[in-house]
Amino acid sequence: MQLSARELAQFLNGTVEGDPEVKVGRPSRIEEGGAGTISFLGNPKYEEYAYSTTASILLVGPGFQARKPVAATLIRVDDVYGAVARLLERFGNNNHEPAVISKQAFIHESASLGEDVAVGPFAVIQAGAMIGKGCRIKAQAFIGKSVKIGENVTIYPGVRILDNCEIGNNCIIHANVVIGSDGFGFAPQEDGAYRKIAHVGRVVIEDNVEIGANTAIDRATMGATRIGKGVKLDNLIQIGHNVEIGENTVIAAQSGIAGSTKIGRSCRIGGQVGFVGHIEVADGTQIQAQSGVAAPIDQPNHAFFGSPAIDYNNYLRSYAVFKQLPELYRKINQLERQVNQQQDAPDKDSSS
């Protein structure tokens, strides 16, 4: 597929600056480029590449002002990342898998599959499971008893969705994710051993959710662990039992949320963050990577950092002083000596 700058600008609602007839056949990264490719400048850190890239077309945002000559034809758009998303879909290998049901899959006779569903080899679909139309259940995936899956859901190889859990429409569940494992709940016994608390709840994943590889989401003790509409979870995340995550919240890799905590809507959580259990976190909260949230957050749209997490800017200010602590320590000791000297001295002075 070859598309001209003019055609692409029209498709992306952008304007051409340069040769509108130059044609490209695939996207490229700005630092790699190549004739016949279209690249993009999103992060300003990469601006220098705009002047050296060999890409034929360069997507830029409204704020880009060239400080040097740019060889590529520019397409200027309001929202670079949105345009890239559309571009990659256009050029991406849209080889929508055919709706083949492998003879080497295990599908229980009481399971129901919608139209246009694919099931890969060695996938297992247990009794009473319901799979909506357009779903792609890839090889070696596991769909437990009475699981309900909406329409147009992609389940990658090795995903385990355990009994009674529910997945909405248009979700993407990446490889080796576990949904519906028992939560970590035990009653301590007098002899020091722990007695398992049965988990009779389930997990509910709403529409348009994407879940990264090797993430684990525990089922509720009772009721449901709930992942809201449009939530995006990265890889290797831990979601404890009875956690609830509000709509359009995004969480980066390796973060963990302990049991019964409720995260608000439109939060942005960095990687390797931890939340204690049984707290509520307000809508629009931002948590810096590696922070530990140990207390409820009531006020919406605030940023936090540290372990335990405090106000983001306050943490940075305290950390700036932390870095100077050895020097500060010496200064305090010197001050102490001076003050003690002065305290001894005045009498002599006044008596002199």
Among residues 291, 251, 298, 289, the alpha carbon closest in space to that of 275 is found at 291
User: Is the peptide bond prior to 308 cis by the omega test (within 30 degrees of 0)?
Assistant: yes
Among 1, 98, 187, 299, which residue sits at the site for a copy of itself (rule: CB under 8 A)?
187
* Of residues 107-146, those binding a copy of itself (CB under 8 A): 120-122, 124, 139-140, 142
Site pattern 10..49 for a copy of itself (x: CB under 8 A): -----------------xxx--x----------x-x----
Q: What three-state secondary structure class fits 319?
A: helix
Write down the catalytic residue from 174, 199, 241, 278: 241
Among 22, 59, 74, 162, which residue sits at the site for a copy of itself (rule: CB under 8 A)?
162
* Of residues 290-319, those binding a copy of itself (CB under 8 A): 290, 292, 307-308, 310, 314, 317-319
Among 17, 151, 166, 234, which residue sits at the site for a copy of itself (rule: CB under 8 A)?
234
The region of 59-67, 111-119, 128-136, 227-235 touching a copy of itself under the rule CB under 8 A is 227-235
Distance CA 259, CA 275 (A): 9
Nearer to a copy of itself, 15 or 314 (CB): 314
Q: What three-state secondary structure class fits 250?
A: strand
Distance CA 217, CA 220 (A): 10
Site for a copy of itself contains 166 (CB under 8 A): no
Q: Which residue has the tokens 């919608």?
A: 114
* Of residues 78-107, those binding a copy of itself (CB under 8 A): 79, 81-82, 84-85, 88-89, 91-93, 102, 104, 106
Nearer to a copy of itself, 21 or 135 (CB): 135
Among 132, 134, 230, 264, which residue sits at the site for a copy of itself (rule: CB under 8 A)?
230
Tokens coding 178: 């576990």
Transcribe 78-145 into DSSP letters.
Answer: S-HHHHHHHHHHHHS---PPP--B-TTSEE-TT-EE-SS-EE-TT-EE-TT-EE-TT-EE-TT-EE-T
Among 236, 243, 245, 282, which residue sits at the site for a copy of itself (rule: CB under 8 A)?
236
- 174 flagged as catalytic: no
Site for a copy of itself contains 68 (CB under 8 A): no
**Helix and strand totals (H; E) in the chain:** 5, 39
